């Protein structure tokens, strides 16, 4: 167990990757969004303003997931760490990072609501759909989203490392084709109304619960793949 905790420490020894870069991207995206809201407000628009900038730090985690495997996994092997210890420790480090982001988002959302969108009616964290179940629901939503995106990166990198670029490309193209077929089917059978009402019915928390299930499945596949991966 202590060696698994040491893997967390190893992943966090250089705090730049897991902590500072995501926070820096978050801070920058927030500052830019706020500046845009301020410009809109000062030109007399009433708002409320919403933006997608809060996604930015989440996508950084995709690359954190990739590099934690492609570079840190071979290093962990040189540190005589088992694949299991590496896997658990790395996901634990990611969970800590995701929890940090979730707290920042939830607290940010509360401040936003308390200040009526920073006084300019602009919202970065507190998207209506996300905060309707309160700050805890929002934190859960952002935590799962961060973990899902990290795991997507980690899972892709594991497939790449074990089976090569061709298989990874085939898998992603396959996923793209499946999504396309789904969109075609929904459009063809005019089901968009149902889809949207189902998603709205799920709410952020229900949506996150499904995301968590996908994350667990991807993580399990990654572990099974990693067990026979050569650094």
Partner 1 sequence: MTTGTPVIEVQHLTKRYRDTLAVDDVSFTIEKDTIYGLLGRNGAGKTTVMSILTAQNFATSGDVRVFGMHPYENAKVLSRMCFVRESQKYPDDALPRHAFASARLFFPNWDQEFAERLIDEFQLPMKRRIKKLSRGQLSAVGVIIGLAARAEITFFDEPYLGLDAVARQIFYDRLLEDYAEHPRTVILSSHLIDEVSNLIERVLVIDRGRIVMNESTDAVRDRAANIVGDARAVDAFVAGREVIHRETLGTVASVTVLGRLTADDRAQLAAAGLDVAPVSLQQLIVRTTQHAAESSPAASGTIPADIDEGALR
Chain residues in the site for partner 1 (CB under 8 A): 3, 6, 9-11, 13-14, 16-17, 67-68, 70-72, 74-75, 77-85, 227-228, 230-231
Q: Say whether the peptide bond before residue 75 is cis (omega within 30 degrees of 0).
A: no
Nearest distance from residue 157's CB to partner 1, in Å?
12
68 versus 151: smaller Cβ distance to partner 1: 68
Q: What is the DSSP string of the chain?
A: -HHHHHHHHHHHHSHIIIIIHHHHHHHHHHHHHHHHHHHHHHTT----EE-SGGGHHHHHHHHHHHHHHHTHHHHHHHTT--HHHHHHHHHHHHHHHHHHHHHHHHHHHHHHHHTTIIIIIEESS--HHHHTTHHHHHHHHHHHHHHHHHHHHHHHHHHHHHH-HHHHHHHHHHHHHHHHHHHHHHHHTT-HHHHHHHHHHHHHHHHHHHHHHHHHHHHHHHHHHHTT---
43 versus 80: smaller Cβ distance to partner 1: 80
Nearest distance from residue 90's CB to partner 1, in Å?
11
50 versus 63: smaller Cβ distance to partner 1: 63
Q: CB-based contacts of 200: which residues, under 8 Å, 6+ apart? A: 129
13 versus 213: smaller Cβ distance to partner 1: 13
89 versus 117: smaller Cβ distance to partner 1: 89
Nearest distance from residue 80's CB to partner 1, in Å?
4
54 versus 72: smaller Cβ distance to partner 1: 72
Nearest distance from residue 155's CB to partner 1, in Å?
18
Nearest distance from residue 57's CB to partner 1, in Å?
17
Q: Which two tokens stand for residue 219?
A: 């993580």
Contact 150, 64 (CB under 8 A): yes
20 versus 210: smaller Cβ distance to partner 1: 20
Nearest distance from residue 14's CB to partner 1, in Å?
5
Nearest distance from residue 101's CB to partner 1, in Å?
19
């Amino acid at each position: 167990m202590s060696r698994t905790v040491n893997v967390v420490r190893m992943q966090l020894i250089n705090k730049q990757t897991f902590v500072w870069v995501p926070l820096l991207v978050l801070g920058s995206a927030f500052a830019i969004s706020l500046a845009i809201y301020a410009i809109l407000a000062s030109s007399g628009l009433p708002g409320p303003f919403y933006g997608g900038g809060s996604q930015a730090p989440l996508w950084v985690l995709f690359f954190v997931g990739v590099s934690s495997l492609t570079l840190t996994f071979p290093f962990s092997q040189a540190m005589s760490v088992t694949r299991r210890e590496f896997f658990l420790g790395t996901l634990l480090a990611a969970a800590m990072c995701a929890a940090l982001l979730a707290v920042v988002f939830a607290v940010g959302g509360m401040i936003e609501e308390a200040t009526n969108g920073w006084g300019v009616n602009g919202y970065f964290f507190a998207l209506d759909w996300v905060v309707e179940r309160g700050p805890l629901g929002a934190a859960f939503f952002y935590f799962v989203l961060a973990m899902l995106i990290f795991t997507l990166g980690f899972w892709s990198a594991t497939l790449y490392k074990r089976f090569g670029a061709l298989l990874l490309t085939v898998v992603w193209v396959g996923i793209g084709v499946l999504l396309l077929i789904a969109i075609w089917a929904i459009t063809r059978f005019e089901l968009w109304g149902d889809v949207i009402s189902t998603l709205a019915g799920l709410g952020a928390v229900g949506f996150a619960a499904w995301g968590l299930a996908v994350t667990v499945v991807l993580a399990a596949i990654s572990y099974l793949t990693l067990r026979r991966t050569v650094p």
